Amino acid sequence: MIELDPKEYHSPGYYIRAASKRFEAEGAQALRHRVFVEEQGIFADHDRDGIDLIATHLVALSTLAHEADQVVGTVRIHEERPGHWWGSRLAVDSGFRNVGRLGAELIRLAVCTANARGCVRFHAHVQMQNVVLFRRLHWHPLEEVSLHGAAHMKMEADLAHYPPCADPVAGWYHRPRKVTA
């Protein structure tokens, strides 16, 4: 077996899709634990809640030999009431945050999926350090709120910039641009 140093290997592309396999769901949960419990300390033991039972979980998967390898990003979406959707628990693995657009691609799939399911409003509570990213992606700030002891901005997506995605399980393959030194 060939040993690859993770710092030397770069995935050529990423699947952005709805979690449909057990390893994808388990990988998303493990990533959320690393980000929200271990790194950020927002939750003491776990970040799971009742929304997990009704949400559609989306993932970014690194690839090896063009096959899905590991979950490196995740977000979940749910319909709060007819037409009113929320995105939450957006997380990208710390080792992949320098890969272009993984978070943005997950956001795009989240809103496009909800749009295909009859969304008329899509909201998220966004950590303050990510507000600039969301604004670039055609989201509008509504109000500052405190969640779990941390400042967040309630934001709304401009649905005109997110065409419906009727098959989020198929999703798409994202090839990040190469960064030149």
**Residues 153-163 pLDDT 10s:** 999 999 999 99
Per-residue pLDDT of 118-134, as tens digits, reads 999 999 999 999 999 99
Comparing C-alpha atoms, which of 156, 153, 135, 136 is closest to residue 144?
153
At 1 the pLDDT is: 46
Taking phi over 0 as left and psi of -120 to 50 as alpha, with beta for the rest, 15 belongs to beta
CB-CB contact of 73 with 59 (8 Å): yes
Per-residue pLDDT of 80-94, as tens digits, reads 999 999 999 999 999
